C-alpha cells in the first residue's frame, strides 16, 4: 500500500538510544561494479538495503535488453560505463526525472575510448542505447572536474580494463573529490592501483582481484540523527559501528556539527552524539559533501544560525532541483534560502510554527532533512516511501527513538 503522507508528532528529548544505520549505498554501488569486473570470487559484506543498490544488484544480474534504473543516478552512470566496456548491447532508461539528468559528458568520454552509444530521445540525456565497444587505445582524456563525480568514477572503474589504461585530466575546480578518492580506495581493495595527484589520475592496465569487502555504515544517513540531537534540548544517541577514519567524505559531519551543537565521542560500540554549544554565525563549503546541505540548512533555519553556504551548484541536478525545493519548504517555517552572486545564505525563522507540511519533490533527502523538525513541531511529510532510495528503515528507526508517526 502506498501512503501519501506521514504525520510525525512532536517529540521530547531522548537519552542513551542506540541506532543501526544502513550501509553506504555509494560504497556498495562501487563495490558491486568492481566485483562484476573482477577476476576471481569476491564476497561483499553489509551491502546496502537502499533501493538504488538493490536496483544495481538486480540489473547487473539481468539478461533483459532494456534496463530501467528508476531514479538511481549512480546506477545509470556506472552501468553505462560497465556495459560499454563489456561490449553489451543494452538500453538504459529511467524515471521522468532521470531523463532530465544529463549524461552527455560521460557518453562523450566513453565514445572517445571506443564506445558506440546512441541517444534515443533527447541529445545528452537518457534513455541511451549501448551498441558495443572497440578499444581505440586512447591513452588520456580530459574532463571537467566540477561535473558530477559519478561520471569520473564510472570512467575510473573501467580504466584498468583498457589496453593502455587511462590518464584522466580533471580541468578546473574538482567537485566532490572525496567521492573520487572513495572510488580509488574501493578499487585498491580489489587490487588495482590509482595514482591521483593534483588534477591527474593515472590508471594503468591491471586486473581486479576477488576479495572479501565490508561496506561501512552510511555517514550521509548519520546526518539526520545529528540533526535530531542538534534540534533537541539534551538528547543523546549512539550510532552503532560508525567510526573514523572513513572513506566517505560525509564524515566531515564530526567537525561540522561541533559548530552546530553536537559533539561526537567514539567508543568500541560506535559514535555517541550529544549536545554541546553552537555558534551563531557559520560558513561552510559543501563542494565535497553536497548531500549534507539540506540537513544543515534546516538546522540553521530553526536554531537561529546565520550560515554562508558555498559549493551548492550540483544540487540543481540531483533527484530534484534541491535549491528550489529548499527555498519553497523553508518558507513554510518562516526561513529563507537566499542566493547571492557566489554563495547562498539562510535567513533563520523568527517564529517556529506548531505544525508544518513538507513536500518532498521525489527526493529522499528532502524527507529526511526536514523530519528532525519533529523535535520542535508536528510535521507532515509527503510521500514517506521516498526514503527507500537510500534509507528504507528510516521511519521504523524513528519509532525506536519514541517518535510517533501515522501514515495516511
How far apart CA 405 and CA 408 sit, in angstroms, is 10
How far apart CA 351 and CA 71 sit, in angstroms, is 36
Q: Looking at the structure, tell me whether residues 311 and 195 fall in a common domain.
A: no
Q: Would you state the pLDDT for residue 203?
A: 98
How far apart CA 81 and CA 396 sit, in angstroms, is 36
- DSSP-H helix ranges across 251-363: 253-260, 293-303, 322-331
**End residue of a domain, out of 168, 196, 214:** 214
Q: Looking at the structure, tell me whether residues 177 and 263 fall in a common domain.
A: no
Q: Looking at the structure, tell me whether residues 349 and 297 fall in a common domain.
A: yes
Q: Would you state the pLDDT for residue 15?
A: 83
Q: Looking at the structure, tell me whether residues 254 and 154 fall in a common domain.
A: no
Q: Looking at the structure, tell me whether residues 39 and 144 fall in a common domain.
A: yes
How far apart CA 92 and CA 232 sit, in angstroms, is 44
How far apart CA 64 and CA 66 sit, in angstroms, is 6
Across the 408 residues of the chain, what is the mean pLDDT of every consecutive 10-residue run? 81 87 96 92 94 96 96 95 96 95 96 97 97 94 91 98 97 91 98 96 96 96 97 93 96 97 96 96 94 97 97 86 96 97 95 96 96 96 94 92 84
Q: Looking at the structure, tell me whether residues 178 and 52 fall in a common domain.
A: yes
Q: Would you state the pLDDT for residue 1?
A: 47
CATH number at residue 169: 3.65.10.10
Q: Would you state the pLDDT for residue 318?
A: 82
How far apart CA 190 and CA 188 sit, in angstroms, is 5
Q: Can you tell me whether residue 168 is helix, strand or coil?
A: strand
- Number of domains, the chain: 2
**End residue of a domain, out of 214, 233, 267:** 214
Q: Looking at the structure, tell me whether residues 244 and 119 fall in a common domain.
A: no
How far apart CA 80 and CA 92 sit, in angstroms, is 8
Q: Would you state the pLDDT for residue 2?
A: 58
**Which DSSP category does 191 fall into?**
T
Q: Looking at the structure, tell me whether residues 210 and 225 fall in a common domain.
A: no
**End residue of a domain, out of 214, 241, 263:** 214
Q: Looking at the structure, tell me whether residues 13 and 51 fall in a common domain.
A: no
Q: Looking at the structure, tell me whether residues 248 and 106 fall in a common domain.
A: no
Give catalytic residue positions: 291
What's the half-sphere exposure (Cβ side, CA atoms, 13 Å) at 190? 31
Per the structure, the complete domain to which residue 80 belongs is given by 25-214
Q: Looking at the structure, tell me whether residues 76 and 182 fall in a common domain.
A: yes
Q: Looking at the structure, tell me whether residues 202 and 106 fall in a common domain.
A: yes
Amino acid at each position: 500500500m502506498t501512503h501519501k503522507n506521514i504525520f510525525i508528532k512532536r517529540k521530547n528529548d531522548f537519552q542513551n538510544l542506540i541506532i543501526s544505520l544502513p550501509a553506504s549505498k555509494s560504497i556498495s554501488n562501487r563495490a558491486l561494479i568492481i566485483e562484476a569486473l573482477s577476476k576471481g570470487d569476491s564476497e561483499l559484506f553489509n551491502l546496502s538495503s537502499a533501493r538504488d543498490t538493490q536496483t544495481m544488484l538486480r540489473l547487473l544480474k539481468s539478461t533483459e535488453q532494456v534496463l530501467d534504473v528508476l531514479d538511481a543516478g549512480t546506477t545509470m552512470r556506472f552501468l553505462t560505463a560497465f556495459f560499454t566496456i563489456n561490449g553489451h548491447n543494452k538500453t538504459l532508461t529511467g524515471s521522468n526525472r532521470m531523463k532530465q539528468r544529463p549524461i552527455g559528458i560521460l557518453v562523450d568520454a566513453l565514445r572517445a575510448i571506443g564506445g558506440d552509444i546512441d541517444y534515443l530521445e533527447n541529445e545528452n540525456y537518457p534513455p541511451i542505447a549501448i551498441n558495443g565497444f572497440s578499444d581505440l587505445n586512447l591513452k588520456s582524456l580530459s574532463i571537467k572536474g566540477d561535473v558530477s563525480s559519478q561520471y569520473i568514477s564510472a570512467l575510473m572503474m573501467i580504466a584498468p580494463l583498457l589496453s593502455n589504461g587511462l590518464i584522466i585530466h580533471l580541468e578546473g575546480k574538482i567537485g566532490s573529490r572525496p567521492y573520487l578518492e572513495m572510488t580509488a580506495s574501493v578499487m585498491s581493495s580489489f587490487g588495482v592501483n590509482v595514482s591521483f595527484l593534483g588534477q591527474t589520475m593515472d590508471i594503468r592496465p591491471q586486473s581486479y582481484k576477488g576479495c572479501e569487502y565490508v561496506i561501512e555504515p552510511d555517514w550521509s544517513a548519520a546526518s539526520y540523527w545529528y540533526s535530531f540531537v542538534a534540534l533537541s534540548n539534551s538528547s543523546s544517541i549512539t550510532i552503532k559501528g560508525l567510526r573514523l577514519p572513513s572513506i566517505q567524505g560525509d564524515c566531515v559531519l564530526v567537525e561540522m556539527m561541533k559548530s552546530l551543537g553536537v559533539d561526537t565521542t567514539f567508543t568500541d560500540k560506535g559514535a555517541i552524539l550529544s549536545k554541546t554549544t553552537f555558534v551563531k554565525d557559520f560558513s561552510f563549503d559543501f563542494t565535497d559533501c553536497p548531500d549534507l546541505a539540506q540537513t544543515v540548512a534546516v538546522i540553521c533555519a530553526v536554531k537561529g544560525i546565520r550560515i554562508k553556504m558555498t559549493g551548492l551548484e550540483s544540487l540543481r541536478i540531483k533527484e530534484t532541483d534541491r535549491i528550489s525545493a529548499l527555498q519553497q519548504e523553508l518558507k513554510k517555517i518562516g526561513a529563507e534560502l537566499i542566493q547571492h552572486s557566489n554563495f547562498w545564505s539562510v535567513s533563520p525563522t523568527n517564529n517556529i510554527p506548531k505544525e508544518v507540511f513538507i513536500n518532498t519533490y521525489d527526493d529522499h533527502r528532502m524527507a529526511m532533512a526536514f523530519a528532525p523538525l519533529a523535535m520542535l513541531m508536528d510535521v507532515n511529510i509527503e510521500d514517506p516511501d521516498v526514503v527507500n532510495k537510500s534509507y528504507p528503515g528510516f521511519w521504523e528507526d524513528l519509532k525506536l527513538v519514541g517518535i510517533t508517526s501515522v501514515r495516511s
